[in-house]
A = this chain, B = another copy of it.
Amino acid sequence: MEIKVLKNILNANDQRAQENRGLFERNRMVALNVTASPGAGKTSLIMATIKALRDEFRIGVIEGDVSSAIDAETIGTVGIPVVQINTNGACHLDATMISNAVQSLPIDELDLLIVENVGNLICPASFALGEHKNILVASVPEGHDKPYKYPLMFSKSDAVVLNKIDLAPYVDFDRDQFIEAVNGLHADARIFELSCKTGEGLSEWNSWIASEIRKERTA
């Protein structure tokens, strides 16, 4: 007897992620899943992106944290719609959390949804949210060896933002080794070297996000 094997069966999370992606595409908006170690500068990058793009595009934010609403409060100060998800111990966001959270956002009015994942370089790599682009924020003081230690997350990231380049003179960070490692894991990954503190390098990042939004709106 031949056993029938059903291929490409999605797990529950991937199925929900596809539904989220469908919603985002019907709205012709771009969704970013921003991941990082704790303290690499995800919230600072999101704030800088909002500041640069809010005049041209409508932006919403979902903040993911194990605990606290510190980041959502920060985003809230600039008058952008924001929802805080507290995972109560879970080490990553999942697609169901996102589909619940978007119900509290004016999703059909948005051009850009930025999801700030829980600060963790491991678990979020295994849970799609429905995003168009995975963005990994690394930072200079963390050291250049992080791609070797957290290869799955780097290999799944469409763009790697290397933040805190203003601290490069004060730490031992081998830029060439970092970039070689990132390219080795994902040859097509965009790399943006910048400092959210000084503003250096931000314009290239903001231009890329703006071009991605325009592409989606005219798709």
**A→B interface (CB under 8 Å):** 37-39, 65-68, 70, 89, 91, 118-123, 126, 139, 141-143, 145-146, 148-152, 164, 166-167, 170-172, 197
Contacts and interface: CB of A to CB of B under 8 A. Distances in A.
Given A122-B66, A167-B170, A142 B91 contact: no
B91 A148 contact: no
A180 B44 CA distance: 23
A91 B89 contact: no
Given A122-B66, A122-B118, A167-B170, A39 B91 contact: no
Q: Is the interface of A mostly helix, strand, loop or mixed?
A: loop
Contact of A91 (B70, B120, B166, B170): B120
Contacts of A70: 145, 148-149
29 contacts: A37-B37, A37-B38, A37-B39, A37-B119, A38-B149, A39-B143, A66-B149, A66-B150, A66-B151, A66-B152, A67-B150, A67-B151, A68-B145, A68-B148, A70-B145, A70-B149, A89-B122, A89-B152, A91-B91, A91-B120, A118-B122, A119-B121, A119-B150, A123-B123, A139-B141, A141-B167, A167-B170, A167-B171, A171-B197
